Homo-oligomer: A and B are copies of this chain.
Amino acid sequence: MDQSQNTEERITAAAKEIFIQRGFAGARMQDIADKAGINKAMLHYYFRSKEKLFEVIFDEAFGTLMPRVQAILSSDKSVIEKFEDFADQYIALISEHPHVPLFVVHELSQDPDRFVEKIRSKGHFPKLSLFIAQLQQEVDQGRLRPYNPVHLMMNVLSMCIFPFVAKPMLKAVTQMDETTWNLLMQNRSEEVKRFLKQALIP
């Protein structure tokens, strides 16, 4: 691990890698210490417990996504433009951190209630009601084909996020190597946007 950072940063950087790859239950404090180039005692000196350390990582992994989503949803663009922005920005961001979505989704499913409390307290709750109203309005104006708004949002989220969540499965099933996969993901955003427009524009 990079010696140029201070100890606390080295720990969080190492913990991020280990937790995101192994999950909370599968992560080992020893592995985090090794990767950070220090010993276990330091982890507790800085973060007191495994759980506290995990919380810092989880909050950051989730917290970087929601503000961007909120910014996109609350702009003054059309629904289709917002979906396109989301696909572009989300896929670009996740391409840099491909393991984050699976991490978030998996840990979240272990204790959904605690999570709801957390995002509420951090103010990360996306305000979807305005966006759904906009969606309904554009349908009424005939600018979009009529779909159930929630299903439609699920479709967009699914196509942007799922390939990264299921990367190991998809790579295995299609027998792709890493290079082929990366090339494919470079086009992902454009393909999703094309597909979306065909489905959405009357």
Chain A residues engaging chain B, CB cutoff 8 angstroms: 22-26, 99, 102, 104-106, 108-110, 112, 115-116, 119, 125-126, 128, 145, 147-148, 150-152, 154-155, 157-159, 161-163, 165-174, 184, 187-188, 191-192, 194-196, 198-200
- A172 and B116: CB pair below 8 A? yes
Q: Knowing A128-B174, A173-B125 are in contact, say whether A115-B168 is a contact too (CB < 8 A).
A: yes
How far, in whole Å, are A101 and B40 apart by their CA atoms in the complex? 35
- B159 and A154: CB pair below 8 A? yes
How far, in whole Å, are A32 and B150 apart by their CA atoms in the complex? 37
Give every chain B residue within 8 A of A188 (Cβ-Cβ): 151
Residue of B nearest to A27 (CB): B25
- B173 and A162: CB pair below 8 A? no
A58 to nearest B CB, angstroms?
Answer: 13
The A contact surface, by secondary structure, is helix
Q: Knowing A105-B102, A173-B128 are in contact, say whether A195-B112 is a contact too (CB < 8 A).
A: no
A43 to nearest B CB, angstroms?
Answer: 19
Give every chain B residue within 8 A of A24 (Cβ-Cβ): 26
- A154 and B162: CB pair below 8 A? yes
- B104 and A169: CB pair below 8 A? yes
Q: Knowing A23-B23, A191-B148 are in contact, say whether A106-B106 is a contact too (CB < 8 A).
A: yes
Can you list 30 A-B contacts (CB < 8 A)? A23-B23, A24-B26, A104-B169, A105-B165, A105-B166, A105-B168, A108-B168, A108-B169, A108-B172, A109-B167, A109-B168, A115-B168, A125-B173, A126-B173, A145-B198, A147-B191, A147-B194, A148-B191, A151-B191, A154-B159, A157-B170, A158-B158, A158-B163, A159-B159, A162-B162, A162-B165, A195-B199, A198-B198, A198-B200, A199-B199
